């Protein structure tokens, strides 16, 4: 990662081994004093926030936290390298691996079944979680009878009701996710909306058939609810990206219905690709 290792700072509480404590990390959680952990390194990203390609809201929710897993899913490998002049290394987070060890374990070292090399984010979330499902909301959901339109879907925005999104014609309950906060980040971009096009063109990094691939496009609010494209015209990496996101969301979250505007779209190739990825354990 170029000169990142040499860009150090004397700020912050350090342990006997020079590491930064989680408690110290959590103090630096504002736009004017912004730290985050990437790949086991504590970084001061205060100067990076104003030029973040995805906007300030998508980075705010990770300030003072470990953002490694989300960073890998969204950014291309060279993003840090390109922005070194805006990022300062503070030190290593306590009891975490360094950058090169993380990269080796993530992308090179053989993995045992069920093993994960990605550091877990801290459990505490400073942003208020969106509205969660209750018995009353479950009853209201039943009244939808599994059929949503863009108009009815937008009511499930994480505020008045729990958050739902649509992807490849399927409506998904993302309300339990800490990554979908209605006022920030992905939640602000996609709450109560279809994100098929956004997911096809969102930045991603992953393995497919033992090949590391990546796409890098800024996340844009206007890419939600876009239906003016054809699946057969997607580029190869966009196709794989969409299949990877389909795999991720359908494996991790509850499916609660379908989107009427996409009921005649044929997603069979996307679904088949997602199943192939599942068999091979590919796509991060």
Higher pLDDT, 174 or 215: 174
102, 247, 253, 271 from 153: Cα distances, Å: 39, 21, 17, 22
**What pLDDT is stored for residue 279 in this prediction?**
75
pLDDT value of residue 74 = 64
pLDDT in tens, 56-108: 777 888 899 888 777 766 665 556 777 788 889 898 887 544 443 344 344 44
| pLDDT for residue 4 is more than 70 | no
Select, from the ranges 29-33, 103-107, 174-178, 236-240, the one with the highest average predicted confidence (pLDDT): 29-33
pLDDT digits (tens, 9 = 90+) for 110-160: 445 444 433 333 333 444 678 999 999 999 999 999 999 999 999 999 999
Using CA atoms, how far apart are residues 97 and 119, in angstroms rounded to an integer?
A: 9
Structure tokens at 251: 């494996």
Q: Which of 222, 156, 153, 221 has the alpha carbon at shortest distance from 189?
A: 221
Token pair, residue 59, equals 């980075």
Q: Say how many Å lie between the first and final Cα of the chain, rounded.
A: 20
Q: What is the pLDDT of residue 144?
A: 95
Interatomic CA distance for residues 64 and 43, integer angstroms: 10
Q: For the chain, what is the mean pLDDT?
A: 76
pLDDT for the residue numbered 238: 86
Condensed to tens digits (0 to 9), the pLDDT of residues 154-205 reads: 999 999 999 999 999 999 999 998 778 888 777 888 999 999 998 888 644 4
């Amino acid at each position: 990662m170029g000169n990142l290792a040499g860009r150090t700072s004397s700020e912050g509480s350090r342990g006997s081994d020079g590491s930064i404590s989680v408690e110290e990390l959590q103090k630096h959680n504002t736009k004017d004093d912004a730290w985050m952990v990437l790949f086991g390194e504590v970084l001061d990203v205060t100067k990076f926030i104003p030029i973040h390609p995805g906007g300030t809201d998508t980075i705010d929710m990770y300030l003072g936290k470990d953002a490694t897993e989300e960073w890998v899913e969204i950014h291309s490998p060279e993003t840090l390298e390109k922005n070194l002049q805006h990022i300062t290394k503070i030190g290593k987070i306590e009891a975490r691996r360094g950058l090169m060890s993380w990269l080796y374990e993530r992308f090179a070292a053989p993995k045992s079944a069920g093993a994960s090399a990605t550091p877990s984010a801290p459990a505490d979330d400073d942003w208020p979680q969106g509205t969660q499902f209750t018995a009353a909301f479950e009853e209201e959901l039943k009244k939808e009878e599994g059929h949503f339109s863009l108009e009815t879907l937008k009511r499930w925005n994480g505020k008045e009701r729990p958050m739902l999104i649509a992807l490849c014609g399927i409506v998904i309950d993302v309300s339990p996710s800490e990554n979908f906060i209605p006022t920030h980040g992905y939640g602000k971009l996609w709450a109560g909306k279809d994100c098929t096009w956004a997911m096809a063109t969102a930045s991603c990094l992953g393995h497919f058939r033992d090949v590391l691939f990546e796409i890098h496009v800024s996340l844009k609010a206007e890419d939600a609810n876009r239906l003016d494209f054809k699946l057969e015209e997607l580029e190869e990496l966009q196709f794989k990206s969409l299949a990877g996101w389909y795999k991720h969301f359908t494996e991790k979250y509850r499916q609660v219905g379908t989107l009427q505007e996409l009921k005649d779209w044929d997603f069979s190739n996307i679904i088949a690709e997602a199943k192939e990825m599942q068999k091979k354990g590919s796509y991060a």
